[in-house]
Amino acid sequence: MPLFEQLYNFAHWLAQNREEAEDLVQETYAKALRGYSSFQPGTNFRAWMYRILRNTFLTSRTGLKAKMTVPLENEENGAAPVVADTQTPEAILIDRSNQALLQSALEELPVHSREILLLCEVEEMSYQEIADALEIPMGTVMSRLSRARAALRALMKQKLQRT
Protein backbone atom coordinates (compact mmCIF):
# COMPACT_ATOMS: atom_id res chain seq x y z
CA MET A 1 0.00 0.00 0.00
CA PRO A 2 1.46 3.35 -0.96
CA LEU A 3 2.64 5.54 1.94
CA PHE A 4 1.48 3.05 4.59
CA GLU A 5 4.48 3.34 6.92
CA GLN A 6 4.63 7.13 6.67
CA LEU A 7 0.88 7.51 7.26
CA TYR A 8 0.98 5.11 10.21
CA ASN A 9 3.93 6.97 11.75
CA PHE A 10 2.13 10.31 11.41
CA ALA A 11 -1.12 8.84 12.77
CA HIS A 12 0.71 7.32 15.74
CA TRP A 13 2.26 10.66 16.64
CA LEU A 14 -1.08 12.42 16.33
CA ALA A 15 -3.13 9.87 18.23
CA GLN A 16 -0.38 8.76 20.63
CA ASN A 17 -1.95 5.31 20.62
CA ARG A 18 -1.04 2.33 18.42
CA GLU A 19 -4.56 0.93 18.02
CA GLU A 20 -6.07 4.33 17.24
CA ALA A 21 -3.29 5.00 14.72
CA GLU A 22 -4.05 1.71 12.97
CA ASP A 23 -7.74 2.62 12.85
CA LEU A 24 -6.93 6.08 11.49
CA VAL A 25 -4.78 4.67 8.70
CA GLN A 26 -7.40 2.09 7.82
CA GLU A 27 -10.11 4.76 7.73
CA THR A 28 -7.82 6.99 5.64
CA TYR A 29 -7.41 4.31 2.98
CA ALA A 30 -11.14 3.57 3.02
CA LYS A 31 -11.96 7.27 2.55
CA ALA A 32 -9.31 7.62 -0.14
CA LEU A 33 -10.77 4.68 -2.08
CA ARG A 34 -14.33 6.00 -1.71
CA GLY A 35 -13.32 9.50 -2.71
CA TYR A 36 -10.70 8.72 -5.35
CA SER A 37 -12.85 10.34 -8.01
CA SER A 38 -12.28 13.67 -6.22
CA PHE A 39 -8.48 13.33 -6.55
CA GLN A 40 -7.26 15.63 -9.28
CA PRO A 41 -4.58 14.00 -11.47
CA GLY A 42 -1.42 16.06 -11.57
CA THR A 43 -1.80 17.21 -7.97
CA ASN A 44 0.16 15.89 -5.02
CA PHE A 45 -1.15 12.43 -4.06
CA ARG A 46 0.97 12.32 -0.89
CA ALA A 47 -0.44 15.62 0.37
CA TRP A 48 -3.96 14.44 -0.48
CA MET A 49 -3.52 11.28 1.62
CA TYR A 50 -2.04 13.22 4.56
CA ARG A 51 -4.96 15.68 4.38
CA ILE A 52 -7.44 12.78 4.56
CA LEU A 53 -5.57 11.30 7.53
CA ARG A 54 -5.39 14.62 9.36
CA ASN A 55 -9.06 15.42 8.78
CA THR A 56 -10.03 11.93 9.92
CA PHE A 57 -8.01 12.41 13.09
CA LEU A 58 -9.44 15.86 13.79
CA THR A 59 -13.02 14.75 13.29
CA SER A 60 -12.42 11.82 15.65
CA ARG A 61 -11.61 14.26 18.45
CA THR A 62 -14.29 16.17 20.30
CA GLY A 63 -13.71 19.88 20.03
CA LEU A 64 -10.95 19.62 17.43
CA LYS A 65 -11.54 20.74 13.88
CA ALA A 66 -9.43 21.78 10.94
CA LYS A 67 -8.48 25.42 11.40
CA MET A 68 -7.13 27.69 8.73
CA THR A 69 -5.19 29.89 11.18
CA VAL A 70 -3.61 29.84 14.62
CA PRO A 71 -3.35 32.95 16.80
CA LEU A 72 0.06 34.60 16.75
CA GLU A 73 0.20 35.27 20.46
CA ASN A 74 0.96 32.60 23.01
CA GLU A 75 -2.37 31.10 24.09
CA GLU A 76 -1.45 30.93 27.78
CA ASN A 77 -0.39 34.47 28.55
CA GLY A 78 -0.36 36.47 25.34
CA ALA A 79 3.43 36.79 25.48
CA ALA A 80 5.59 37.08 22.39
CA PRO A 81 6.99 33.85 20.91
CA VAL A 82 10.23 32.52 22.34
CA VAL A 83 13.26 33.80 20.44
CA ALA A 84 15.40 31.07 18.91
CA ASP A 85 18.82 30.52 20.35
CA THR A 86 21.87 28.73 19.00
CA GLN A 87 21.12 25.27 20.38
CA THR A 88 18.38 23.43 18.47
CA PRO A 89 16.23 20.59 19.80
CA GLU A 90 18.19 18.24 17.54
CA ALA A 91 21.51 19.39 19.04
CA ILE A 92 20.14 18.93 22.56
CA LEU A 93 19.03 15.43 21.65
CA ILE A 94 22.44 14.52 20.25
CA ASP A 95 24.25 16.05 23.23
CA ARG A 96 22.14 14.21 25.79
CA SER A 97 21.20 11.12 23.72
CA ASN A 98 17.77 11.02 25.26
CA GLN A 99 15.03 10.21 22.75
CA ALA A 100 12.43 9.61 25.46
CA LEU A 101 12.79 13.22 26.55
CA LEU A 102 12.22 14.48 23.01
CA GLN A 103 9.24 12.20 22.52
CA SER A 104 7.75 13.41 25.79
CA ALA A 105 8.19 17.03 24.72
CA LEU A 106 6.62 16.36 21.32
CA GLU A 107 3.64 14.71 23.00
CA GLU A 108 3.11 17.83 25.12
CA LEU A 109 2.86 20.09 22.09
CA PRO A 110 -0.61 20.98 20.81
CA VAL A 111 -1.76 18.98 17.80
CA HIS A 112 -1.20 21.81 15.29
CA SER A 113 2.42 22.19 16.44
CA ARG A 114 3.13 18.47 16.58
CA GLU A 115 1.71 17.79 13.12
CA ILE A 116 3.66 20.59 11.42
CA LEU A 117 6.95 19.42 12.99
CA LEU A 118 6.32 15.80 12.06
CA LEU A 119 5.40 16.56 8.47
CA CYS A 120 8.47 18.74 8.00
CA GLU A 121 11.15 17.01 10.07
CA VAL A 122 10.10 13.36 10.11
CA GLU A 123 8.19 12.97 6.85
CA GLU A 124 10.48 15.49 5.10
CA MET A 125 7.62 17.10 3.21
CA SER A 126 8.26 20.39 1.43
CA TYR A 127 6.50 23.53 2.65
CA GLN A 128 4.23 23.32 -0.40
CA GLU A 129 3.33 19.69 0.34
CA ILE A 130 2.55 20.61 3.95
CA ALA A 131 0.44 23.56 2.80
CA ASP A 132 -1.48 21.23 0.48
CA ALA A 133 -1.92 18.55 3.15
CA LEU A 134 -3.11 20.96 5.84
CA GLU A 135 -5.00 23.24 3.44
CA ILE A 136 -3.25 26.37 4.68
CA PRO A 137 -1.15 29.03 2.93
CA MET A 138 2.59 28.42 2.68
CA GLY A 139 3.28 31.49 4.84
CA THR A 140 1.17 29.94 7.58
CA VAL A 141 3.22 26.74 7.28
CA MET A 142 6.42 28.69 7.82
CA SER A 143 5.10 30.68 10.79
CA ARG A 144 3.55 27.61 12.46
CA LEU A 145 6.77 25.69 11.96
CA SER A 146 8.79 28.50 13.50
CA ARG A 147 6.48 28.69 16.53
CA ALA A 148 6.40 24.89 16.89
CA ARG A 149 10.20 24.70 16.85
CA ALA A 150 10.40 27.47 19.46
CA ALA A 151 7.84 25.71 21.65
CA LEU A 152 9.68 22.39 21.34
CA ARG A 153 12.96 24.10 22.15
CA ALA A 154 11.44 25.69 25.28
CA LEU A 155 9.94 22.37 26.42
CA MET A 156 13.24 20.59 25.90
CA LYS A 157 15.09 23.23 27.94
CA GLN A 158 12.58 22.86 30.77
CA LYS A 159 12.91 19.09 30.75
CA LEU A 160 16.71 19.17 30.58
CA GLN A 161 16.89 21.61 33.50
CA ARG A 162 14.80 19.22 35.58
CA THR A 163 17.11 16.25 34.87
What pLDDT, on the 0 to 100 scale, is given for residue 82?
45
Q: Per-residue DSSP letters for 87-149?
A: --HHHHHHHHT-HHHHHHHHHHS-HHHHHHHIIIIIS---HHHHHHHHT--HHHHHHHHHHHH
- What residue numbers bound the domain in which 156 lies? 89-162
Give the CATH number, domain containing residue 155. Answer: 1.10.10.10
- pLDDT score at 83: 42
Query: Is 68 inside a domain boundary?
Result: no
Asked if residue 38 belongs to a domain, the reply is yes
Name residue 11's amino acid: A
**Domain shared by 56 and 119, yes or no:** no
Asked whether residue 71 is assigned to any structural domain, the reply reads no
Would you say residue 62 has pLDDT above 70? no
**Residue 86: per-residue pLDDT:** 52
Residue 38 sits in a domain whose CATH number is 1.10.1740.10
Residue 45 covered by a domain: yes
Split into its structural domains, the chain has a count of 2
Q: Tell me the per-residue pLDDT of 71-129, one tens digit each, with 9 for 90 and over.
A: 445 445 544 444 444 556 555 545 545 677 778 888 899 988 999 998 998 888 899 99
